[in-house]
């Protein structure tokens, strides 16, 4: 069965500093990987996705993520954090099978200090 682990429950970062969120997955085949962001009181919004090809993928809002098969990781990064990046971030793994079902990690809540 597929699973996703986000080791950091909370991260606090200063505005303007860099951010990296960790994600490790377990999946038997080549995974389809996603990062979603949830602002307070809102639903989830897709930040970026990896299906195949270039292992460094760019997303919206200046985020990027790198797929490392050898480490079963898909870490999310942003070079310079803005106060509006305070949110909860979810890593997810899926498959191109019937249903497009996703398995989510537990989430990482990011707090941005002025």
Partner 1 sequence: NAGVTQTPKFRVLKTGQSMTLLCAQDMNHEYMYWYRQDPGMGLRLIHYSVGEGTTAKGEVPDGYNVSRLKKQNFLLGLESAAPSQTSVYFCASSWPGTAGELFFGEGSRLTVL
| Cα 43-23-100 angle, rounded to 5 deg | 55
Convert residues 41-70 into a mask of x (bound to partner 1 by CB under 8 A) and - (unbound).
xxxxxx--x-x-------------------
SS (H, E, C) 71-106: HCEEEEEECCCCHHHCEEEEEEEECCCCCCCEEECC
Near partner 1 in 7-46, by CB under 8 A: 9, 32, 34, 41-46
Neighbours of 11 (CB within 10 A): 16
Q: Which is nearer to partner 1, 40 or 114 (CB)?
A: 40
Told to check if 101 binds partner 1 by CB under 8 A, we report yes
Q: Which residue carries 């305070």 as its tokens?
A: 86
Q: Which is nearer to partner 1, 98 or 114 (CB)?
A: 98
Contact footprint for partner 1 (CB under 8 A): 4, 6, 9, 32, 34, 41-46, 49, 51, 90, 92, 94-96, 98-107
């Amino acid at each position: 069965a597929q699973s996703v682990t986000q080791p950091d429950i909370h991260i606090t970062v200063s505005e303007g500093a860099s951010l990296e969120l960790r994600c490790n997955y377990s999946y038997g085949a080549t995974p389809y990987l996603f990062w979603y962001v949830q602002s307070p009181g809102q639903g989830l919004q897709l930040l970026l996705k990896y299906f195949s090809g270039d292992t460094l993928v760019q997303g919206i809002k200046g985020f990027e993520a790198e797929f490392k098969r050898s480490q079963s990781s898909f870490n999310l990064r942003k070079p310079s954090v803005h106060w509006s990046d305070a949110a909860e971030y979810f890593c997810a793994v899926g498959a191109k099978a019937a249903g497009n079902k996703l398995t989510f990690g537990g989430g990482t809540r990011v707090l941005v200090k002025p």
